[in-house]
Amino acid sequence: MLDHLMLDQDSLHRLVSPSASLTGTQIQAGITAAGGHSWTPEHNGKSLLFCKGAALRSDGTAGFLAVHLVDDPVDTWYLLDLQPDDEGISGAEFDMVGDSTLGTTVALDAKLYIYPGLYSQGNA
């Protein structure tokens, strides 16, 4: 079991292809289901301690993604400046994503990718 957990954790320490990431559509669904203005990341049904970055597909529209950085005070939001993927991935360790009321201007759709970081220990 420990070997399996270590493989899961190790695989998440690398930024991976969009096919292994979360999309803005999943974020929007999570915000809607929670009935609030933020989403706490989950990947494959498991809670994440944090995500490692975000990117837009080349056909996405540039804008900002409101994220709560790991260890920042409650209600402190940072705006990741996202450009279409020709500009690469914007890296940051964040544990929540906020909606437009918190500063997000990019569409929370399938053109936005969020990259998982580390699973919560409660999922082992």
Task: Report the number of distinct structural domains present in the chain.
Answer: 1
Q: Provide the domain limits for residue 75.
A: 2-123
pLDDT bin (cut points 50, 70, 90) of residue 61 is: very high
Is 13:49 a contact under the CB 8 Å cutoff?
no
Answer whether residue 1 shows pLDDT above 50: no
């279409």: which residue's tokens?
84
Pair of tokens at residue 12: 């998440």
Give the residue-averaged pLDDT of 92-111: 94
